Structure 1
Amino acid sequence: MPWWITEQPVPPDGHCGNRHVHVDHQYVAFVTDPDEVTRKPEHPFRWTDRDELDGLAMFADTRLLAAGLFAVVPMLGAGDFDAVSVLTSLASDGQS
């Protein structure tokens, strides 16, 4: 299941000649060996670190949500999923 889903209105681009909506799905996964590939991905996705976000082509709000997600990964990994704390972290990350 996606951890977060955002919808972003965008102008016409190379894929669609009309204004349309991009739907971004953000997932959380924990791995013990990120170099272990189980199969070739169907889409060009890859693992990324927090320090790589600024260099990736993405919408500003998607970058903000991803940064907030990285801030709460330790809590999620420990199984301490508290929705209020997660949302508070996301909101405060945007203020820095």
Structure 2
Amino acid sequence: MPWWITEQPVPPDAHCGDRHVHVDHQYVALVTDPDEMIREPEHPFRWVRPDELDGLAMFADTRLLATGLFAVVPMLGAGDVDAVTVMRSLAGDRQS
């Protein structure tokens, strides 16, 4: 299951000549050996490390979200925070 889903309105691009919405599915995985694959994925994807973010083509706000998410992955793995709390903090929402 995705950890979080984001919908981003975008202008026409090389794939679609009309305004449309990109839907991003963000996943979080904690692994002990990132080079060991349990099985082939059903859909193409690529796991990335924090130091690889700057080289990826993505929206600036998606990069900011990913950077913030990497900062809290240890807490997520420990069950210390939930997705809504993390997203509110990344968005700057100080409501309780």
So what's the TM-score if we normalise by structure 2? Answer: 0.78
**Which residue in 1 is equivalent to 2:20?**
20
**Which residue in 2 is equivalent to 1:59?**
59
Greater displacement, 64-73 / 13-22: 13-22
Q: Any idea what the Cα deviations from partners look like across 1:40-67, whole Å, max 9, x if unmatched?
A: 3344321111111111100111111111
Give me the CA root mean square deviation: 1.9
User: What is the rounded CA distance, in whole Å, between the counterparts of 2:91 and 2:15 in structure 1?
Assistant: 32
User: What is the rounded CA distance, in whole Å, between the counterparts of 1:91 and 1:15 in structure 2?
Assistant: 29
| One-letter amino acid of the structure 1 residue matched with residue 6 of structure 2 | T
**Which residue in 2 is equivalent to 1:49?**
49
User: What is the rounded CA distance, in whole Å, between the counterparts of 1:30 and 1:9 in structure 2?
Assistant: 30
User: What is the rounded CA distance, in whole Å, between the counterparts of 1:91 and 1:9 in structure 2?
Assistant: 17
State the identity as a percent. 82
So what's the TM-score if we normalise by structure 1? Answer: 0.78
Q: Any idea what the Cα deviations from partners look like across 1:61-82, whole Å, max 9, x if unmatched?
A: 1111111100101111122125
| One-letter amino acid of the structure 1 residue matched with residue 36 of structure 2 | E
User: What is the rounded CA distance, in whole Å, between the counterparts of 1:64 and 1:7 in structure 2?
Assistant: 15
The number of aligned residues is: 90
> SS at 2:48's partner residue?
coil
**Which residue in 1 is equivalent to 2:8?**
8
